[in-house]
Structure 1
Amino acid sequence: MNYPDITARLNDAADRATTRRAKPDLTCGEALVTLLEEYGVQYVFGIPGVHTVELYRGIAASSIRHVTPRHEQGAGFMADGYARVTGKPGVCFIITGPGMTNIATAMAQAYADSIPMLVISSVNARRELGSGDGRLHELPSQHTVFAGLTAFSHTLLDAAELPQVLARAFAVFESARPRPVHIEIPLDVIVAPASVMKRTRPALPAKPAASADALAAAADLLAEAHRPLILAGGGAVHAAAELRELAERLEAPVALTINAKGLLPCGHPLLIGSTQSLPQPRAMIRDADVVLAVGTELGETDYDVVFDGGFAIDGRLIRIDIDAQQLMRNFHPDVAIAGDAQQALGSLSLRLHERTLPASRADWGASRVAMVRDAVMASFDSSTRSQKHLIDTIVSTLPGVIVAGDSTSPVYVGNFVHDAPAPRSWFNSSTGYGTLGYGLPAAIGAKLAARARPVVCLIGDGGLQFTLPELASAVEAQVPVIVLLWNNFGYGEIRKYMTRHDITHVGVDIHTPDFMALARGFGCAACRVENRQALIAQLQQAALRQVPTVIEIQESDWFEQVPA
């Protein structure tokens, strides 16, 4: 066949496609966009490919803004950061095969931290599914691969089913334990007519309410407690007012997981902090005669990051969780309350309003919290105090700041020492799944979610190299995040671990590029600072820019900045 023949065939195919587009019926891919608009979706994160272009046909004319990362993992982390700030699902369009395996790490992090995420992917045509013919991007069963990383993974075999499947997804986000949902659409279904599809949004269910009997039993235990204590997790992040009211009514100390920081504001006299892995808070928790655990897995990365198995609850345990199965994991409750944290905490406060509480708490509540916090602060070494000084500087310089962190030393320290002023202001990837490279794309998603607030990505030089090209995404999307780069010239935390365990350093002293040159090459502002005064000045300037700023701090320089 000669070139004119090929050209003629291509033109004929283009004419046929134009004819199809001229028809009044929307395709399934176009209808998907209109349905997402109905659910209030503002952003879609993704990289167009030959298997997903038909999903994009309706985006240009819609109210949805598309953000293009430089890697599908970045798309997932952007969606994650957006979801953590808003409480709404981050939405991704991802190609078949490699696009999905690229985003898998981000989905796993979101699954571990109970973050709502909607991943809509293409998949090979229905007649080709599982064929093993070696089709482009083919997996033996893409659905099976992602079933374990999601609340559910669904293959859409009929365009008419799309509204129902989307409604199932948003029902999970609205009224169940939020986790990723994956919907894959075969290539022939994406372009199928949507004329028989109902394109109206159904009513979504409310969050489940706790049973009256369980609430009554919990109220009785709390009313009789002499030393009540509350452990709150990310599942209570929407219930700050109710948690505070109940804690103050009970005069109960409160310990928060990393994803719950800000549920009690910094400086609150009942706030223990997020130090459940340290000896003094652990002793206080063991002294409590009744512990109320709400919206928390009671898992290792929040309660035993020293990995010594030393966290224990000796008192009676009340657990509140929207996930009934989670109530039975890790620590078995004396009272199990399956339901929404906000409703359950509010109901408990009402039930305790008229109850007479024990007066024998002279050495409990705020007085014991103050002693524990003082003891914890006194235990900090110079490097911890120096990194706390860094975080305090960020927060005091940038009121209302959101800090999206990676797995790096100042983030580990901040997880212990930082008390966020409000919920959804401090989150990172060092808990749960514990991946590297999260911070930068998550900060981009967070800034899109909260344009008026400063957003800082706190990340190490090793982690930044995982997703460094997302600086280009931030420039392109006009997202002026501030990247605070903690440079210890390698995988510093693993290097320290090897030293402590007498292991010769291998693989941790990696080549460190010139981040300033790279940042400027991507179109960012960039600078290095050596002390607190310089950092304050650069943060203030960065907050006024319309482009991302990379501020590099070398660990050895900052460790000289130890407050008295």
Structure 2
Amino acid sequence: MKIMTGGEAVVKALEFLDVNTIFGIPGVHNLAIYSALLDSSIKHVTVRHEQGAGFMADGFARTTGRVGVALVISGPGLTNILTPMGEAYHEAVPLLVISTNNSRRYLNGRTGILHELSQSNAMIRSVAKESRRVPYPEAIVPYLIEAHQLALEGRPGPVHVEIPIDLLDSEIARPDRKTMGQTATVFQLSQQAGVLQDVQQVVEILDTAQHPLIIIGGGAWQAGDNLTQLADKLAAPILLTPAGKGSIDDDHPLCLGVRHHFPAIRTFVENADVVLAFGTELAEDLYGNFFSTKGILIRVDRDVSVFERNIKGHICLLEDANTVAELLNKLVRVRPDRKGLIHRSVRKVKDQASQELPHIFAYRDLAILLNILKEIRTSLPKDGILVSDSTRPAYVAFSEFPSHTPRSFLFPCGYGTLGMALPSAIGTKIAHPERAVSVLAGDGGFQFTMAELGTLCQEKLSIPIIVFNDHGFGEIRMFEETRHPGRRIGVDLKNPDFESLATAYGMPFYRILKNGDLQNALSIALTLQGPSLIEIDSPGSI
């Protein structure tokens, strides 16, 4: 009988699951796993902080649909990854977070031992689908396989598996692939037989609809082709949620983009007589406006719980968006007579929204922000990926930066954390080495995870980092100015010299001084073999 350690069992399980990349930091409590990785084909990316590991796994998963894997130590390693897990939980991004804990004999009470963390599983469950502690060595493989499946099942999200360190050095029988395959739970996402009757009802409603409309959320990002075909057949305008941006080409004549926060668009949506909502919770938009319609609401989602959330649907289909869209495409009546009229009406309402732009974003430098986005879009290939932090140019980008492919504009929509952009871009580029990837971050948010410049340079990834430097937390500064003009607290920052920072890491640096500079700098930076730093200095923005 072949024998292996618990640490080897972790790696064997990941290999069985076809995991090819993990993000983490070695520590005294997880060295048994790292020793096993020495003889594995799995690529390990050493991060500078566990928060970086979580965001890198997020970027990897968010742009591939595969499970992103992070490996951290007990105690502080686990608490450091809480924020990216929260972001992934809100955005339905499948992660597998593996952590260690102290030996089982120390887990039932306070002992003062290194990295002790009481109630770790209860803590993690607030930002994860599940958190499980492996009870004995033979359970390591099945726990990891089940966690990986759970991360993908239904509404995707992060799952945590905790392994006490005494299990990692224990010896167990080495399972073969057949045994691991039998361990794996076979789950089926499709409920097609169960929803077919409801789909027929939906077809009848759509065939008589005068003003149908489609809403696409982040849960339908992989259904873009079928949903585009459905929209064309129905001559139905398409509204995207922030998480759904890019699912449909923004240049499509039926696409309203991410513009629910514009009054003209909200009125347009409210007047639809049938709304098909795919993969969205229908939560409030970027500026606190809730979805509303006078028509029949049909909701399609893999997560049954969303049907009772925010606004109830008249018909709810528990099914994958792609499956339902494919079924509808076979059954709905094509409406060619409405095509020209609806295209004109979409252009008209988008023109009205453009007139509302200065009222939505009361920025003194709005014209500068629009030009920044224009120059980035011109330089970035159509399938290029822009990974953004919570920063003022990104808020404008939702409606004004065209995205042409799914998951080509990443943003911390749900949890709204700062610091996601740089590490998430690293994970994204590792997943898609053939595609152009760039970062757009504010100076404040960039410094949350600035340490990952070390990871970026060590991996030699071609990622231009655009830092919009307004010398503080510019959006919050604007709110403070509204509340108490001329008086500020906590929003002005002493920043590093970004050129010196780039030099310290051996990165090319570009300072943007006038129109055209950003387009030229980004075009050059995208051809380089390694990273670069581009600073846009905006001292007078507020």
Q: Which of the five TM-score ranges fits, normalised by the shorter chain?
A: over 0.9
Please state whether the residue corresponding to 2:292 is helix, strand or coil: coil
2:361 maps to which residue? none
2:444 maps to which residue? 462
Distance change (3 Å), C-alpha of 1:148 and 1:366: same
2:505 to 509, 519, 522: 522
Return the offset for 1:505: 0.7
Given that 2:472 and 2:491 are in contact with CA atoms closer than 8 Å, whether structure 1 keeps it comes out as: yes
List alignment gaps of at least 5 residues for structure 1: 1-22, 560-564
Output the CA distance in 2 between the equivalents of 1:542 and 1:194. Answer: 50
Output the CA distance in 2 between the equivalents of 1:412 and 1:347. Answer: 35
**Aligned AA for 1:247?**
A
1:349 to 312, 319, 329: 329
For residues 97-137 of structure 1, give each alpha carbon's deviation from its aligned partner in whole angstroms, at most 9, with x where no partner exists.
Answer: 11111000000000000001110000111111132111111
1:552 maps to which residue? 535
**Aligned AA for 1:276?**
H
- Whether 2:108 is the aligned partner of 1:126: answer no
Given that 2:3 and 2:173 are in contact with CA atoms closer than 8 Å, whether structure 1 keeps it comes out as: yes
Output the CA distance in 1 between the equivalents of 2:520 and 2:340. Answer: 44
Return the offset for 1:389: 2.5
Return the offset for 1:442: 0.6
Question: Which runs of structure 1 show a deviation greater than 6 angstroms over 4 or more consecutive aligned residues?
Answer: none
- Whether 2:317 is the aligned partner of 1:337: answer yes
2:356 to 360, 372, 379: 379
Output the CA distance in 2 between the equivalents of 1:100 and 1:523. Answer: 32
Please state whether the residue corresponding to 2:304 is helix, strand or coil: coil
Output the CA distance in 2 between the equivalents of 1:121 and 1:175. Answer: 21
Return the offset for 1:56: 0.6
1:35 maps to which residue? 13
TM-score, L = length of structure 2: 0.94
Output the CA distance in 2 between the equivalents of 1:187 and 1:164. Answer: 17
Output the CA distance in 1 between the equivalents of 2:175 and 2:126. Answer: 29
1:144 maps to which residue? 122
1:513 to 472, 496, 499: 496
Output the CA distance in 1 between the equivalents of 2:291 and 2:538. Answer: 31
For residues 190-247 of structure 1, give each alpha carbon's deviation from its aligned partner in whole angstroms, at most 9, with x where no partner exists.
Answer: 1122316455334743322341122122222212210000110011111111101111
Given that 2:96 and 2:151 are in contact with CA atoms closer than 8 Å, whether structure 1 keeps it comes out as: no
Given that 2:377 and 2:402 are in contact with CA atoms closer than 8 Å, whether structure 1 keeps it comes out as: no
Cα RMSD, aligned residues only: 1.9
**Aligned AA for 1:323?**
D
Q: How many residue pairs were aligned?
A: 528
1:367 maps to which residue? 344
2:287 to 270, 292, 306: 306
1:13 maps to which residue? none
Return the offset for 1:523: 2.7
Output the CA distance in 2 between the equivalents of 1:362 and 1:397. Answer: 33
Pairs within 5 Å for 1:96-245:
96-195=74-173, 197=175, 199=177, 200-201=180-181, 202=184, 204-210=186-192, 211-245=195-229
Output the CA distance in 1 between the equivalents of 2:145 and 2:13. Answer: 10
Output the CA distance in 1 between the equivalents of 2:396 and 2:21. Answer: 33
Output the CA distance in 2 between the equivalents of 1:252 and 1:502. Answer: 45
Please state whether the residue corresponding to 2:171 is helix, strand or coil: coil
Given that 2:217 and 2:278 are in contact with CA atoms closer than 8 Å, whether structure 1 keeps it comes out as: yes
Distance change (3 Å), C-alpha of 1:508 and 1:317: same
Given that 1:225 and 1:358 are in contact with CA atoms closer than 8 Å, whether structure 2 keeps it comes out as: no
**Aligned AA for 2:430?**
L
Given that 1:174 and 1:205 are in contact with CA atoms closer than 8 Å, whether structure 2 keeps it comes out as: no
1:20 maps to which residue? none
1:486 to 468, 472, 482: 468
Please state whether the residue corresponding to 1:56 is helix, strand or coil: helix
- Whether 2:396 is the aligned partner of 1:413: answer yes
**Aligned AA for 1:410?**
P
2:280 maps to which residue? 296
TM-score, L = length of structure 1: 0.90
Pairs within 5 Å for 1:315-330:
315-330=295-310
Output the CA distance in 2 between the equivalents of 1:196 and 1:264. Answer: 46
Please state whether the residue corresponding to 2:328 is helix, strand or coil: helix
Return the offset for 1:189: 0.9
List alignment gaps of at least 5 residues for structure 2: 359-363
For residues 524-552 of structure 1, give each alpha carbon's deviation from its aligned partner in whole angstroms, at most 9, with x where no partner exists.
Answer: 22221122322222112211222210100
2:370 to 388, 391, 400: 388
Return the offset for 1:174: 3.7
Output the CA distance in 2 between the equivalents of 1:142 and 1:132. Answer: 13
